[in-house]
Every structure is written in C-alpha cells, then in structure tokens.
Homo-oligomer: A and B are copies of this chain.
Amino acid sequence: MSIARKILLVILDGVSDRPIEGKTPLQSANAPNLDRIANLGINGIMDTIAPGIRPGSDVAHLALLGYSPYEVYTGRGPLEAAGIGIRLNEGDIAFRCNFATMKDDIIVDRRAGRIRDTMELTRAVQDGVQLDVEFTFERSTGHRAVLVLRGRGLSSHVSDSDPKHEGTPSRIIEALKPEAQKTADILKEFVIQAGKLLEKHPVNAERIKTGKAPANTILIRGAGMKPNIKTFSERYGLKGAIIAETGLVIGIGRICGLNHIEADGADSDIDANVRSAIDALKDHEFVLLNIKGADDASHDGSAEKKIKFITKIDKALKPILDIKNALVVVTADHSTPVSIKDHSADPVPVTIMGPGVRVDAVRVYDEINAATGGLNRIRAIDLMPILMDLVNRTKKFGA
C-alpha cells in the first residue's frame, strides 16, 4: 500500500502515429520494455490540447506540465530564448531568428545551407548593429538564433519576416497594432544593418568559395514577451528537472523553473539520457525526460527509420522498469504521422505505472490498445493533477 513520492515523465517526442498498411510504427516495432510498462500500468489516450487540435511541441509541453497554453503561451521567441539561457525581463520582446540565404531579394535557402557554426557571424551582428534600443542577439542550435529587444514602448504585435517558403522575398515586418510601429521599425532597421554586415563577412566569402550557401540575411519570427508563469515549485511544491535535446523543450522547462540537466553523454545518446533521468530522481521530485528522434523520422517521412528508432528507445528504457516508489509516465507530446510528415491531432498513448495505479488489462504499448485502458481519454492539462493526486500532494476541494 505504498504511495509514490516522485514522478518521472517520459515524453517520446512525436512517437504516436497513424496506421501504415494497417499498423502504426509503435505496433510494428518490437518493444518489450514499453509493453511491460503498459502491462504494469494504467493506460489511456490523451489529447494534448483538445480533440482535433494539432499541438506544436511548445504548447504540448506546457500542457503536459499542467500550464494552459491558452493562458500562458506568448509565442515561441521567449521559449527559444529561455532554451539558450537568456533571462527575459518584463517588457522584453524575444524573437526566433534564422540565418538564411538571399539572392536578388529572394530567399533561396531559409537555413543558409543548414549552417552550423554561426559564432563569428553572430558576434559581428551583436557588435556591429546600432539600434535605438538595447538588444541581444545570440546563436542557438544550427542556423537558429534569438533576438531580444529591451527598452520602453516595445510591443510583440509585429508580423514575421520569415516567408516560411523558399523562392519568395522575405515578408515586410508590419505593426499588427498601432503601438507596435516603433518595434516594427526597429526590426526592419536590424535586418538591414545585419544584412550589410553579413554580406561582406569573411565567413560568408569563404562559404561562397567552397560552394556553400552564404548566411547573408536574418529571418525573424515568433515575437513574444516573457510568459507569466508560476514556477513548478511555486505551483506544485515539487523540485523538478528536465533532460531534453532541443532548445525549445529545454526553454519551456527553464521557464517553468525546472533545472536543466545535461546528460553525461552526447545530446542524442538515449541511454545516457535515461540514466541521467533516473539519477536526477535522487534529488528531484519530478523529472521530465524528452526523447527526440521518433519525431524526426516522421518529419522525414520514414516509417522504417521510425520503427528502428522505437526499438532503440525501447532498449534504452529498460532500466526504468527497476524504478521504485516513483510514478513513471510514458507518453508523447503529439502524434507525428509519417504519412503527413507533420504533427497531427490524433490522441497520444499514455501509461502511468507505479504504486497506487489501477492496473488495467492493456498489455501492449501502442495507440490502439491504449484506447481500451483504464484512463479512457484524458487531456494533457489533466495529467499533472492526476499525478499530483497519486503522489498525495493534492488539496481537497470542499470538505
């Protein structure tokens, strides 16, 4: 009759899918450890936001952590900023940026040949651009960067310059509300000045010489202010940690006050990440482990790759079966069907294993069997309350 004290939330990013020739990748993969977890736990399907709503990874993770994205989500810029460790102040506006390649005013590559080393280019922009407000421009992973504007009278109500498609000019940044005109003007000025600095930068001269796309312009999107979020410890009284590969997910964790733990291996070393997560349970009451990879395979449209990756995840998850006195939740942030190479609104499977759960008859971890489980159909926003109840940290409503 023990009661679980801790929570390990494992998010298999985009693992959930639709059937391909009759079977989803989870059904096709040989995954004895996932099946064992389903067998020992209570299962269900979960709408990350609501039936039919396609969740981005950002809003999905907010909901999984119990924060209503409709209340707290302020755009992707602030999350990306938090992901690389920038602390936003009240009134700051953060943007996601891409280094991109422009030729004759047309965006010919939105990722500048998937450039990886943007250190010098970023420094040139940060040091060379002169604006009427303070700003921070920092590199993120790959071709990505973050811009933060700081000063009086700024607004996040500006449109993106990123055209989303290649072969068209970048979009003109517009004020979506009158009070955002100043911000729009500053952004335009930033893009012009940065473009001039990048165009003549030796790194780009070198790239052109070696046949690579030059990172000669910056695309801007995802304007947002600091979200008003109570930290995890304020909200739940839990000391929490996050282990994840992607900056965005790390950023969400940081914004919610979770400690970001770097695994003792490469970012994509799943075994190391699982070990670190189990280890983190020693001095944290809540650990979120995001395992990327299945999602990437889906975005690439490869069922084979996805099935193979699920097998790999399954092997890495084996030590989780030995965890004692903690709830283990295995779920996904959204479905990413191989057939559409993008997120979908299909509900995700969810299993809760550990002391106190009402074990059901489900024996296999997949989307179809999950739907017959004891949780029936829940929403991600309900997951944390359910877990908090199971670890006996919930206050009664009424008497």
Contact = CB atoms under 8 A, between A and B. Distances in A.
A398 B343 CA distance: 11
A388 interface: yes
14 contacts: A1-B338, A3-B339, A22-B359, A24-B358, A45-B374, A49-B397, A54-B397, A55-B396, A55-B398, A58-B398, A76-B399, A222-B399, A342-B396, A358-B367
Interface in A333-367: 337-340, 342-346, 356-361, 367
A339 B398 contact: no
A228 interface: no
A247 interface: no
A364 to B, nearest CB: 13
Given A345-B389, A356-B339, A377-B377, A384 B52 contact: yes
B51 A385 contact: yes
A384 B345 CA distance: 12
Given A24-B358, A45-B376, A56 B399 contact: yes
Interface in A202-244: 222
Given A346-B358, A377-B377, A382-B52, A398 B60 contact: yes
A88 interface: no
B378 A51 contact: yes
A168 interface: no
Q: What is the oligomeric copy number?
A: 2
Contacts of A29: none
A52 B394 contact: yes
Contacts of A2: 339
B374 A368 contact: yes
Nearest to A73: B398
Question: Interface on chain A toward B: helix, strand, loop, or mixed SS?
Answer: loop
A356 B337 contact: yes
B1 A339 contact: yes
Nearest to A248: B399
A19 interface: yes
A186 interface: no
A266 interface: no
Interface string A366-390: 0110011111111100111111110
Interface in A277-330: none
A51 B359 CA distance: 17
Name the residue in A22, A385, A392, A399 with the highest tally of chain B Cβ atoms < 10 Å from its Cβ: A399
A198 to B, nearest CB: 25
A91 interface: no
Nearest to A47: B382
A53 B397 contact: yes
Contacts of A332: none
Contacts of A376: 45, 371, 376-377
B20 A388 contact: no
A143 interface: no
Nearest to A70: B397
A276 B384 CA distance: 43
Given A358-B368, A359-B19, A372-B372, A54 B377 contact: no
Given A372-B372, A374-B368, A399-B57, A389 B18 contact: no
A383 B345 CA distance: 12
A214 B52 CA distance: 53
A50 interface: yes
A395 interface: yes
